Structures are given as structure tokens and as C-alpha cells.
Chains A and B, each alone.
Chain A
């Protein structure tokens, strides 16, 4: 019996075109791609480069990750970086939505703050990370500030754009149903801005990860960026790659989470 026949015999999840077959099609290719890439990397490192000072093989990196997990060192660094990321991102989202709302509702605020935000959004504010470390020290709060300074702008800009893009006809219709200003905001403007805000949050996630690592490179006591900097100073390639792999994996998990959040928050778009 071929795989296809087995699948055809399975009850599907109930949705036309859904079920196990789609699951396979969605997951098989990415997983095969990753495994193939790892294999090529392994072969390249073992038989062509053949110098662990330049390139560590994935198997060496895996051993290193296992060791670091065994001693608990990796968990410690992940906890610190994770805390910086999470606090920074939450602050960015809260401040970003708040400021986006103020900008969307006041033309004076738009005129006063607009140019600043446009400039700062376009500037690679990551460049001021060393300065922020200098001002605020090497504990986690300096990194939280680096994260906010970088991640808040896409949220502000998208929130403002989303709120201002609300369909005027929908607003008037709901106004005719007797809605107050506050009710209009929560029933019409905010839900209609959600896709924009979530797109902003997704951009913020990427910026926040980079901010954590760069911030830690410039000064920290712990964290994945700190671990990376230490490893690179002593040419410990497996350790360096261990940090990079963990960061890549975190990026993958966070992107998936962001997509799940988008679906969960907009059930009406799932149909």
C-alpha cells in the first residue's frame, strides 16, 4: 500500500481540502529542506574545510548544545535574553499602540511628533546601542531600552495607519446605531486596525531579537549575545554556533507564534 492510499483511508479533519494530506504537504518540504541543509553543512565542514577553527560541523554544535544544556549554562543565557526580549517587546507593543492611538486621534500630535517618528523609524537606531549601554549599565534594563528604542516604531506607525484607515462608511453606520465615541473605537476602529497592528508587531519581533543580541555584544553579564561574544573571542566555534542556532530556533518559534496569534485574533479571516 502506498502512502497516498493510507492517507486517503484516514478520516480528514472535516474541512474540504484540509486534513492529513495538507499537513504533509505543508511540513514535509520545509523539514526536508532544513535536514538537507544540515547534511550539506556537515559534509562541507568535515571533508572540505576540515578545520574546526573556521567552521564547526552541526554534529559538534549539537554536542556543544547538549553539554551547555547539561550544565544549565545555556538555560541561564536563554532566560536572560528571553526576559530582555519579552519585557522589551511588551513595552514596545503597549507604548506603540498608545502612541499610535494618540497620533491617529490628534492632528496636533501628528504635526509635532510625526517628523521625529518618521526620522527615527528610518534611522538604524541599533547604532545607539553602545550609547544606551554606557548610560544605563550592563544589566538587563539597558538591553530592554535598546529593544524598545528599536521595536516601538513599527508598532506606532502601523497602529496609526490602521486606525486612520478605518472605513468611514462603517463608522457612520455604527454611529447611526447609536454608538458613542468610545464604542466606535472598540467596535470599529480597533478591530479594523488589528491586521495593521499585528504586521507592526511582527516587524517589532525581528527588530527586538537583533536588539537583544547587539545590546549584549556591547555589554552584558549574561545572555546569548554575551555567550556569542565570549565564544568568538576564544575561537570556540562550536559554542559560537550553539548560540547562533539557539537564536535561529528562537526566531522560528517566535515567527510561528506570531502567525498563530494573527489567526487567533482574527477568526473572521480564517474562512
Chain B
């Protein structure tokens, strides 16, 4: 079986059931979004896929190979600022290649092209501190793609950006994705972002984190940002919102109770 298979993954932290039997398939070349309220176990799921956390039961496999720890068959783009401040943009972009002794002429050329694709040509010798949040996240994307991973995993990569930059980054991500059609699993709490990007949206519920519904998204590609104002798009957003609204309310009132206590 190729692609990314998450098979009945469960995980507990003491009394807290973070994930209950989560199953998600991402076919090769497919873009799948996972959307859910805070506390639905998105981050735990990502850490299990990364191999940073062991599931209590179930398994994750990439192209038929079971995940037992961190590995470069999976490329990660985390929330903002996972660049090394003491390395230049170029050194950050080729970091994965260098660590694995794979920085040959071909990989150098591929990285150069990726930086061009992500609009970073000319910034190779800058320090991350000199770049905006949006540009830094593009470097993270280029760094993950430079290793040519089987699966690209993105964990709320745009959550630290302002709303307008986020919109632009979504459109740019799709443009970059159209070029190579990588297998992508994209985790977010933003419903419109999940729908706009994906071929399939997996909706998670909270306490315990579990799959509520899997919704195929059948809009044509390439997609433009104005798709977000399409009535069918708005209808999908409403539907997903109705699925998770109760959970979000619970999570908000829990937060309120916690801060009142």
C-alpha cells in the first residue's frame, strides 16, 4: 500500500484519551486536510505520524513502511519559526540534505529551484531574523520539500500569520503543490483553509479525538481564492462548522472555567 496510512491509532495520556482509533488514508498525490477544534488531538496525531510519540495501539505507515521513529520519508512543516536562527536561508533550506549526507549537485540544483518556486531567490544569504513570518514559512516548506519526501506533513503552518498573509500563502501553497503533486496531510483549525486546499477533509471531534466525518471536496483545480465565496464552498463551511460547533463551545467554556478557577 502506498501513500500515508493511519490505521486505528489510539493514544492516551493518563486519564485523557487524546486519540480514539483514528484512521485516515492519504493516497499518493492526494491532498488531505484534517480539521478540528482545539483539544481534538491534532498535535498528538502529528507527533505520532512524525514518530516523536508512540501510539498505544494502531499504526502509521508510509509507502507500506511502518513508522517507528523520526525519518526523512516524511517532510514536516510545523507552526512558525522552526528555522535555525544561526543558519542562513540557504543553510536552513539544505539542512536536511546536509544532515543526511545527500547534498550532491543534483540536490543543490533541486533546492535552488525550490527557493525560486517559493519566491526566495536572492534571499539565500539572509538570516531568518531578517525575513517576514510568511517568508520564513516558505523557507520551512522549501526545506521540507528539498529532501523529496514521500509525504509532506503540515501542522497548522499558517496559524502564526496574519489573516491576509494566510490567504496569500494558501494560494501560493496550492501553486507550489500543483508543480509536484506531493502527497500532503495538512492539519488546521481553520475550516475554509482545510476545504480550499484539500481533495478530502477529515473532521475530528474532541474528548476523545476521533474522526467525525470524511468529506470529499470536488472543486476543480487549479483553485483561486475567490472560490471561498462560491455558494457551494460556503455550504461546506457551514456543514463542517455544524459538525464541530458543539465541541468548540465546550472547549471555549472549559477554557473559561479553567481561567476562572
Question: Is the A/B pair a real complex?
Answer: yes
Stretch binding the partner chain, chosen from A2-10, A78-86, A170-178, A236-244: A170-178
- Contact (Cβ within 8 A) A175 B143: no
Partner of B82, one of A169, A178, A180, A187: A169
Q: Contacts A175-B70, A187-B99 given: A266-B86 contact, CB under 8 Å?
A: yes
- Contact (Cβ within 8 A) A169 B78: yes
Interface centre among A169, A172, A173, A191 (most CB of B within 10 A): A173
Kindly list chain A residues whose C-beta atoms are within 8 Å of the C-beta of B51: 176
Quote the shortest CB–CB distance from B86 to chain A (angstroms): 4
- Contact (Cβ within 8 A) B76 A173: yes
Residues 130-154 (chain B) with a chain A CB within 8 angstroms: 130, 143, 147
Kindly list chain A residues whose C-beta atoms are within 8 Å of the C-beta of B87: 187, 268
Quote the shortest CB–CB distance from B255 to chain A (angstroms): 23
Interface size for B (C-beta < 8 A) is 24
Q: Contacts A268-B127, A271-B129 given: A177-B99 contact, CB under 8 Å?
A: yes
Kindly list chain B residues whose C-beta atoms are within 8 Å of the C-beta of A266: 86
B84 within 8 A of A: yes
Kindly list chain A residues whose C-beta atoms are within 8 Å of the C-beta of B76: 173, 176-177
Quote the shortest CB–CB distance from A193 to chain B (angstroms): 11
A59 within 8 A of B: no
A188 within 8 A of B: yes
Kindly list chain B residues whose C-beta atoms are within 8 Å of the C-beta of A180: 99
| Interface residues on chain A, size class | 20 to 34
Residues 8-39 (chain A) with a chain B CB within 8 angstroms: none
Name the residue of chain B whose CB is nearest to the CB of A192.
B86
Kindly list chain B residues whose C-beta atoms are within 8 Å of the C-beta of A179: 99
**Complex Cα spacing A172 to B82, Å:** 9
Kindly list chain A residues whose C-beta atoms are within 8 Å of the C-beta of B96: 177-178
A124 within 8 A of B: no
**Complex Cα spacing A169 to B143, Å:** 16
- Contact (Cβ within 8 A) A178 B72: yes
Kindly list chain B residues whose C-beta atoms are within 8 Å of the C-beta of A125: none
- Contact (Cβ within 8 A) B95 A174: yes
A259 within 8 A of B: no
Kindly list chain A residues whose C-beta atoms are within 8 Å of the C-beta of B71: 178
**Complex Cα spacing A271 to B52, Å:** 34
Kindly list chain A residues whose C-beta atoms are within 8 Å of the C-beta of B86: 191-192, 194, 266, 268
A115 within 8 A of B: no
Quote the shortest CB–CB distance from A169 to chain B (angstroms): 6
Name the residue of chain B whose CB is nearest to the CB of A180.
B99
Kindly list chain A residues whose C-beta atoms are within 8 Å of the C-beta of B70: 175-176, 178
Q: Mark A253-271, 1 if CB is under 8 A from B, else 0.
A: 0000000000000111101
Number of A-B contacts (CB under 8 A): 59
- Contact (Cβ within 8 A) A170 B147: no
Quote the shortest CB–CB distance from B155 to chain A (angstroms): 11
Name the residue of chain B whose CB is nearest to the CB of A187.
B84
Residues 129-185 (chain A) with a chain B CB within 8 angstroms: 169-170, 172-180, 183
Kindly list chain B residues whose C-beta atoms are within 8 Å of the C-beta of A183: 99
Kindly list chain A residues whose C-beta atoms are within 8 Å of the C-beta of B216: none
Q: Contacts A175-B52, A175-B70, A271-B130 given: A170-B99 contact, CB under 8 Å?
A: no
Kindly list chain B residues whose C-beta atoms are within 8 Å of the C-beta of A269: 129
Quote the shortest CB–CB distance from B50 to chain A (angstroms): 6
Residues 64-98 (chain B) with a chain A CB within 8 angstroms: 70-72, 74, 76, 78, 82, 84-87, 95-96
Name the residue of chain A whose CB is nearest to the CB of B78.
A173
**Complex Cα spacing A188 to B87, Å:** 10
- Contact (Cβ within 8 A) B82 A268: no
Q: Mark A188-200, 1 if CB is under 8 A from B, else 0.
A: 1001101000000
Name the residue of chain A whose CB is nearest to the CB of B91.
A187
Partner of B52, one of A172, A192, A267: A172
B100 within 8 A of A: yes
20 pairs from A and B in contact (CB 8 Å cutoff): A169-B78, A169-B82, A170-B84, A173-B78, A174-B84, A176-B50, A176-B70, A176-B74, A177-B72, A177-B76, A177-B95, A177-B147, A178-B70, A178-B96, A187-B84, A187-B87, A191-B84, A194-B86, A269-B129, A271-B130
Q: Which 6 A-B pairs have the closest CB atoms?
A: A177-B96, A173-B82, A191-B86, A268-B127, A178-B72, A179-B99
Given contacts A169-B78, A177-B95, A268-B87, 17 further A-B contacts (CB under 8 A): A169-B82, A172-B50, A172-B52, A173-B76, A173-B82, A176-B50, A176-B51, A176-B70, A176-B76, A177-B99, A178-B100, A180-B99, A187-B87, A187-B95, A191-B84, A191-B86, A268-B86
